[in-house]
Amino acid sequence: MEGCHLYSTDWSWCLFIRVLLLLLIAQGNADLAASSCQLRGTRWTEEKPYSACLTTDWQALALKDSYANKNESYFGVLGEAYGSISFGHVLSLHLKGVIKDMPQLDFDHSISMRQTEYAFLQLGNPIVDSIYAASGIIDAPFGLDHRVHRFSLPGRTDKLWPHSVRGSRGSIRWRDDLLLEFGAHQNQRSDLESQQQQIISGRLVQNIDLLHGTRLIGSYLSSADYMEREVGLATLVHNEGNRTSLEWVRKTSAASDQSFEQVFRFVHEQQEDTWLWNLTMEELSQDSYIIKYGAQKAWTESFSGLVCLQYQRERIEPSHKHLTLLLGIDYQEAKSWEGVKL
């Protein structure tokens, strides 16, 4: 097994890699879109049926992080489940949870996570209604945060986009091209009550008829006491099933005139037959740079293999350069039900 040089001599690791590589180059024809819930007909807006949707996504992952002459290997699972019940497009309930358990090989250390990502009630549906609102555990309407492998690869920019926060948000759409979203939330950074923070945020989205849809997004976020503020600009382009985004976010604090946190991020996802390629370049000012290149290959409607290589260069001590390899098998399933009209 010494020949299997992805830093480890562990036989299970090598076997897993070999099987994955074989599967990645295997031929297959699958429609990746089949892993999401879809309506059966196109008369949904008129007929307003009850509908329910359940999607699950399970990934068996192997991750290898190499830095400063150290190698750390993790092997485990990541699961995401999303369910919704909708009463026409008027009222709907949505739940999403994430579970992650990746023990480190050779050491008694594990990366674990159990999180309710979303649990909210929504009035209206953005696809047909010009006004809609949601309340519960939701994302604050701020920025774009286009990320590939959000839960499976390490990142350092989580704090700039408030995800899974308790609160409410509303949205108003003018014509088809302008959308204003606003919300008030409690950003719970830790279990300590002293670190809970009231935030307000807003996002203005302009849709433009460029290629297969382009969005310009301007965002603002502030703590309720205005001590911390964030502004963001982003653009997202759809073209032939591909997505490209460029985003800038800057966070300043009234406590310090000099310090700020700032992110530039470029993401491109390209679909070619059964392959989905992605490229990410990210700069977190005075902190780190990341380049990420990955691919996902669909074998069947549900099964796919994924691979991603990430290079991260830290600018703060100890200034490590991380090279991270992620390999995995992904299983996705989607079920939807539609009932009689209201």
Does 243 contact other proteins by CB under 8 A? yes
Does 68 contact other proteins by CB under 8 A? no
Does 201 contact other proteins by CB under 8 A? no
Does 81 contact other proteins by CB under 8 A? no
The nearer residue to other proteins, 222 or 336, going by C-beta atoms, is: 336
Out of 264, 293, 303, 331, name the contact with other proteins by CB under 8 A. Answer: 264
Does 184 contact other proteins by CB under 8 A? no
Does 194 contact other proteins by CB under 8 A? no
Q: Kindly state the helix (H) or strand (E) to which residue 210 belongs, with its residue range.
A: none
Contact 329, 60 (CB under 8 A): yes
The nearer residue to other proteins, 189 or 212, going by C-beta atoms, is: 212
Can the peptide bond before residue 49 be classed as cis, meaning omega within 30 degrees of 0?
no
Torsion of CA 125, 127, 130, 134, to 10 degrees: 30
With contacts defined by CB under 8 A, name the span among 14-22, 64-72, 134-142, 298-306 that binds other proteins: 134-142
Does 317 contact other proteins by CB under 8 A? no
How far apart CA 269 and CA 253 sit, in angstroms, is: 33
Please count the residues of this chain forming the interface with other proteins, following the rule CB under 8 A.
Answer: 66
How far apart CA 324 and CA 88 sit, in angstroms, is: 45
Binding marks (x or -) toward other proteins, 269..298, rule CB under 8 A?
-xxxx-------x-x-----x-x-------
Closest CA to 224 of 162, 286, 172: 162
Does 242 contact other proteins by CB under 8 A? yes
Name the token pair of 337. 């039900």
Out of 16, 74, 75, 118, name the contact with other proteins by CB under 8 A. Answer: 118
Q: What is the DSSP string of 69-121?
A: TEEEEEEEEEEEEEEEEEETTTEEEEEEEEEEEEEBTTSS-EEEEEEEEEEEE
Contact 280, 264 (CB under 8 A): no
Burial bucket for residue 79 (CB in 10 Å: 0-12, 13-18, 19+): middle
Does 211 contact other proteins by CB under 8 A? yes
Residues with Cβ within 8 Å of residue 185, at least 6 apart in sequence: 138, 140, 162, 165, 166, 167, 168, 169, 198, 199, 200, 201
With contacts defined by CB under 8 A, name the span among 59-67, 233-241, 249-257, 299-307 that binds other proteins: 233-241
The nearer residue to other proteins, 21 or 216, going by C-beta atoms, is: 216
Q: How far is the CB of 336 from other proteins (least distance, A)?
A: 6
Q: Which residues bind other proteins (CB under 8 A)?
A: 33, 36-42, 44-45, 51, 53, 82, 84, 86, 89, 92, 94, 96, 118, 122, 125-128, 132, 134, 138-139, 144, 146, 176, 203, 205, 207, 209-215, 217, 235-244, 246, 264, 270-273, 281, 283, 289, 291, 313, 315, 336
